[in-house]
Structure 1
């Protein structure tokens, strides 16, 4: 078995079903994993190898997963932990699967960490391609751990104590003024049918790796202690450091592809450059913990109740 990461070692039993290769794609993040057939029957050794690669590389990609449907997709994701509902506000017609569709050249074309407007920010997202345009529609990820590590000391001293309010009223899906609705299936009213606001530390400690990571993205409404103009300037200063090209990896989708990312250490951006062609992806999300600041204080809800979003077992029992 070949694994480019030297920080996490896969168990020997992962070799039982053949070799696993983890090929690093970028200096900051991203790896392609070969030799793994995703599904609910993935053995514990191979699952451990996949999780180790995810923690090391932040986003990992699998080609040729044509066998997956919604059920087997969810069965695999559930091996990683309890699942959230599909979305806190949108009725997708499915308890766990969020259909992310577009037919007018738009997608989630804004940098964000998934569902950061609730207190329990999701841990892992698993996204599979269903319908792809003939061109465009790539997705880009950025590493929020290396962005923090690269901050100059005076700026780091500021953000270590800084808190931000995140809200879905700033949802990327509502910010495209060229279109009447954010998705081919859902309206702006769907996404904002219930308003959530949550106080998060700008720097949180990853619960598995102990790494410090910036928790920002375009759900951020404001920074505590700063006015609106100052918040915008500070947001742009920090966000630009996260999304500089050297800190990103870009994936060109093909049929059968699956991407899985650590939502606690990344942001992502789906590029809306495919004209009027249809594009459909399906996302299943693994529950996360409440983010905790460097000094041990947890995030808190300001508005809304997101408890149902992380209680899928009660909803589908």
Structure 2
């Protein structure tokens, strides 16, 4: 096969053609896709011929797959596939990196289009590496020293007074196991050595600072992540698969489709424990995620970019 990689934006995203990802990959093809993911952070595959089984098979080329989610139920009978469904609410309608409240969040996320609304429903994907590079030097040095507590036990969707019974049930399921984990604000990518801002919606407090002080600093850093030049705005079509590097991106599902049906299926790849610029690893405060994910074997980290 002759793989073609076409950039979508200067900072993030590439479209991949010339490979049938419904079939097993040889080592050369896998290496090309891994290199493309390292470089472009997000890959778009059009006209894929995948179902839940073959989506998982493709994703396993990158490592062990996780369970669907630490607390949220999977597609019926398919324990490693999470339905990202408009009928379950729009909890992903905020900037986040998947499952950062556990000790070793997924290294990569795949999303496959099942049902697409006639308009809206895009997914935004941002490069946290580009965000880090865009920081002023003084702020970059400051961010290198920070650690943040990530948790699933907070309201990131809507205020309490706007929650109906169904939403309350979904929230209770999401927090049925409470997780608190401390990660470096600047994470060093284990394969490329790049530094990226490892924050997003689950990062709620900077270690050593008050909630109010933490929020100001996190908002300041987050503003660099979501600069338009750092963001890929992906408009879904039928039979697409998007894979993004969860270690160095954030994403946001836009709620702009008037409640019409929208469904994606998500499969994620088990990740390693994040490492900061000084070589220290993340640590868990509360919550056991061993039922959800294995820990990927550590990789010798290249010199930080």
- Whole-angstrom CA distance in 2 between matches of 1:171 and 1:130: 28
Correspondence for 1:10 = none
Matched, 1:295 2:278: yes
- Whole-angstrom CA distance in 2 between matches of 1:262 and 1:170: 25
> Is the contact between residue 104 and residue 276 of structure 1 (CA under 8 Å) also seen in structure 2?
no
Of residues 44, 52, 74, the one that matches 1:70 is 52
Q: TM-score normalized by structure 1?
A: 0.87
Structure 1, gaps ≥5 residues long:
1-16, 313-317
- Whole-angstrom CA distance in 2 between matches of 1:127 and 1:258: 6
- Whole-angstrom CA distance in 2 between matches of 1:179 and 1:103: 15
Per-residue deviation, residues 15-45 of structure 1 (Å, max 9, x unmatched):
xx2x211110111111111112113512222
Note closer, same or farther for the CA distance 1:107–1:253 as it changes in structure 2 (3 Å cut): farther
Q: TM-score normalized by structure 2?
A: 0.91
Correspondence for 2:269 = 286
Per-residue deviation, residues 194-242 of structure 1 (Å, max 9, x unmatched):
0000000101110111111110000011001211111111111000111
Correspondence for 2:149 = 165
Per-residue deviation, residues 97-138 of structure 1 (Å, max 9, x unmatched):
000100488351100000000010110111100011111000
- Whole-angstrom CA distance in 2 between matches of 1:139 and 1:309: 25
Structure 1's consecutive aligned runs of 4 or more residues displaced over 3 angstroms after TM superposition are: 103-107, 174-183
Note closer, same or farther for the CA distance 1:164–1:88 as it changes in structure 2 (3 Å cut): same
- Whole-angstrom CA distance in 2 between matches of 1:171 and 1:199: 19
Q: Which moved more, 1:98-107 or 1:146-155?
A: 98-107
> Is the contact between residue 171 and residue 219 of structure 1 (CA under 8 Å) also seen in structure 2?
no
Per-residue deviation, residues 148-203 of structure 1 (Å, max 9, x unmatched):
1111121112111100000011364x4476553459xx711111110000000101
Of residues 6, 11, 20, the one that matches 2:3 is 20
> Is the contact between residue 95 and residue 201 of structure 2 (CA under 8 Å) also seen in structure 1?
yes
Of residues 51, 63, 85, the one that matches 1:81 is 63
Matched, 1:216 2:199: yes
Correspondence for 1:47 = 30
- Whole-angstrom CA distance in 2 between matches of 1:50 and 1:175: 38
- Whole-angstrom CA distance in 2 between matches of 1:209 and 1:62: 23
Of residues 132, 143, 157, the one that matches 1:148 is 132
SS at match of 1:187: helix
- Whole-angstrom CA distance in 2 between matches of 1:152 and 1:104: 40
Q: How far did 1:91 drift?
A: 2.3
Matched, 1:132 2:131: no
Of residues 287, 293, 303, the one that matches 1:310 is 293
> Is the contact between residue 164 and residue 221 of structure 1 (CA under 8 Å) also seen in structure 2?
yes
SS at match of 1:76: helix
Note closer, same or farther for the CA distance 1:107–1:63 as it changes in structure 2 (3 Å cut): farther
- Whole-angstrom CA distance in 1 between matches of 2:115 and 2:149: 35
How many pairs were matched up? 291
- Whole-angstrom CA distance in 2 between matches of 1:103 and 1:118: 26
SS at match of 2:153: helix
> Is the contact between residue 105 and residue 274 of structure 1 (CA under 8 Å) also seen in structure 2?
no
